[in-house]
Structure 1
Amino acid sequence: MNCAFGWCRRIFSSPHSLNSSIQRAYQSTFQAGDFCILRNVKSNKKYFVGPLEADAKRDLRGAIVPHSDIIGQSPRAIVRTNIATAAYMAHFPTLDEYVLNVPRACTPIYPKDASTIVELLDLEPDQRILEAGTGNGSLTLYLARAVGLAGRIDTFDVREQHSRAAQKHVERFRRGRYRDTVHFHLGSVGETLSSTLREREEIYDGIVLDMPEPVEELPRVIPYLKNDRFLVCYLPNMTQVLDLLDAVQSLPLAMETCIDTEWKEWEVRPTVIRKRQAEQDTEMQGTKNIGAWVCRPKNFEVRGHTAFLVKLRKCA
């Protein structure tokens, strides 16, 4: 079989080396090429640093942190700077922190939507997922983590710049833990599938379409989705949702749900009311007393509407 994009059905069953996977995943100390979160031990403010290089340094508002002072350290190690009062605790970034901080070729699918899409697709380890619209690779990583090292993600994008950026982000995340899980393809998903697979087999356990007009690709990708499995469309506005539902009427798809996810982070911290401070100092000398708790939404960080997530079920 001639495969213009270097992939075909026999690749789907390619085995993974368990030993190499475990080796890549093992992170006892920071190494060159890793990313790091530095958290100010006083203010709790976080900084994204990396990839770490032996001769590089990071300026944190005047506090200089040589990368060499991080390399070789264990998580939660305290990193000192040229400013005596500035110290930082080192952490490996979570997936959320990583996708939000790496350079952007385009706006990423944010963690609130990516984690919801994983749930909507009802993903399990070892499954095969098709993603159309690789973008910055943020959702790609969430999908890869959900299906695991023995699963497979085929992700397509018509923009070479986006595909290259996403590939770099996948390669650099946790020392390339998911590089063998994700397979990148350049071009229209429908045309590429039809030109590389001789038969329209139901080979995917889930499909995600992140594109302005998914209606054009739906008839082409549905044959590759297993019956009674799910397809999720990422659509920023309701007009796109209505156009999609009009098209679904003539396709073997049934609408399951339409979700608009919002996250609201709350600030929860102890504080002391100033008017009571003098009384507390007098009556309870030598003890620590919390006068009140601050509990309020972080309005400046409200993660509001980004897109509608439309879940469809194949009902052939």
Structure 2
Amino acid sequence: MSEPTGAARRRGPFKVGDQVQLTDPKGRHYTFTLEAGKNFHTHKGSFPHDELIGAPEGSVVRTTGNVAYLALRPLLPDYVLSMPRGAAVVYPKDAGQILAFADIFPGARVVEAGVGSGSLSSFLLRAVGDQGMLHSYERRADFAQIAKENVERYFGGPHPAWQLTVGDLQDNLSDTDVDRVILDMLAPWECLDAVSKALVPGGILCCYVATTTQLSKTVESIREIGCFAEPQPWESMIRNWHVEGLAVRPDHRMIGHTGFLVTARRLADGVEPPMRRRRPAKGAYGEDYEGPGSGSGGSGDRG
């Protein structure tokens, strides 16, 4: 039985073509691709790639300046933060939330719109596996090309589950019986009619938006279309901690707001969503409220 795509690049001794992440004594990372006969240069000296080829992961190499570097394969969260960018990448903390709360499973049929630089595509492909399907739509050809190169660099070549289409989702979507739809774009509400027809009953829609105005319009539009259960909006934040002896405290910096996530389940055809019991706050829909029908926004990547 053949290994899943990319699995051979995640284990065993270092090989030519592997991505290597070096960590210096100050914790800084440097990522490069192993090539026979090449040298890796830093301002603290250099060392030949051949020293790592055939060596086990977790080895330490020293430069000509006698500086030690720890050599490991980059984790996917490390890779997506260091890869070339067109649009802004989906941060690992949000990608992890999407995989969990959109319930991305092996073999799932997933549609993604707003590919950007290929960060989320890489996470989704690893989750659905070779037997799944990820059909990604990207309106900008230059972003699509960057994403393609980044994804193929990570997996070591084309992924059998991936199809990439250049164009707007609402104009090109032809997929049916889709399990999950992920929208990372400026105006996801413009795609709701199209994706609601593609999703299976019980399927999950997940939208990733940057601002509170986008969040409001997305949630209200999902309610208005009438074929989804009550949408769930949230955001996540990560705060690291400094732990050294008795000095245990939160770091001064944290990964705060990057975007909002909204998930909603597709109802069966002909079913109306149950009435919400919670009454809206007084003034929530006052004169200043601009609902889903007031104007439209652009589509495409957040970046």
TM-score range, shorter chain: 0.7 to 0.9
After TM superposition, the structure 1 = structure 2 runs for residues 73-88 of structure 1, keeping only pairs within 5 Å, are 73-84=55-66, 86-88=67-69
Using the aligned pairs only, state the percent identity.
30
After TM superposition, the structure 1 = structure 2 runs for residues 91-106 of structure 1, keeping only pairs within 5 Å, are 91-106=72-87
Deviation for aligned residue 1:218? 1.1
**SS in structure 2 of the partner of residue 141 of structure 1:** helix
More helix by share: 1
Structure 1: how far apart are the matches of 2:160 and 2:121? 13
Structure 2: how far apart are the matches of 1:245 and 1:304? 22
Partner residue in 2 for 1:52 = 34
Partner residue in 2 for 1:139 = 120
Q: Does 1:27 align with 2:11?
A: yes
**Unaligned residue ranges in structure 1 (runs of 5+):** 1-16, 271-292
Deviation for aligned residue 1:70? 2.4
After TM superposition, the structure 1 = structure 2 runs for residues 192-211 of structure 1, keeping only pairs within 5 Å, are 192-194=172-174, 201=176, 203-211=177-185
Partner residue in 1 for 2:50 = 68
Partner residue in 2 for 1:282 = none
Per-residue CA shift, 1:49-69, capped at 9, x if unaligned?
A: 212223443333323233333
Any conservation in 2 of the 1:35–1:48 contact (CA below 8 Å)? Answer: no
Q: Does 1:219 align with 2:193?
A: yes
Any conservation in 1 of the 2:235–2:257 contact (CA below 8 Å)? Answer: yes
Structure 2: how far apart are the matches of 1:114 and 1:232? 11
Any conservation in 2 of the 1:156–1:189 contact (CA below 8 Å)? Answer: yes
Structure 2: how far apart are the matches of 1:26 and 1:101? 17
Match of 1:297 among 230, 243, 250: 250
Structure 1: how far apart are the matches of 2:251 and 2:46? 29
**SS in structure 2 of the partner of residue 143 of structure 1:** helix
Deviation for aligned residue 1:221? 1.6
What is the one-letter code of the residue matched to 1:311?
T
**Unaligned residue ranges in structure 2 (runs of 5+):** 270-303
Deviation for aligned residue 1:311? 0.7
Q: Does 1:228 align with 2:202?
A: yes
Deviation for aligned residue 1:256? 3.4
Any conservation in 1 of the 2:207–2:263 contact (CA below 8 Å)? Answer: yes
Per-residue CA shift, 1:149-194, capped at 9, x if unaligned?
A: 2111111101111111111111111424x71122211111121124
Structure 2: how far apart are the matches of 1:247 and 1:294? 48
Partner residue in 1 for 2:22 = 38
Deviation for aligned residue 1:112? 0.3
Partner residue in 1 for 2:287 = none
**SS in structure 1 of the partner of residue 137 of structure 2:** strand
TM-score w.r.t. the length of structure 1 is 0.78
Any conservation in 1 of the 2:219–2:233 contact (CA below 8 Å)? Answer: no
Any conservation in 2 of the 1:24–1:175 contact (CA below 8 Å)? Answer: no
Cα-Cα RMSD? 2.0
Rg comparison, structure with higher value:
1
Structure 1: how far apart are the matches of 2:89 and 2:129? 21
What is the one-letter code of the residue matched to 1:224?
A
Any conservation in 1 of the 2:130–2:159 contact (CA below 8 Å)? Answer: no
Deviation for aligned residue 1:108? 0.2
Match of 1:310 among 262, 286, 292: 262
Deviation for aligned residue 1:233? 0.5
Deviation for aligned residue 1:26? 6.0
Any conservation in 2 of the 1:255–1:310 contact (CA below 8 Å)? Answer: no
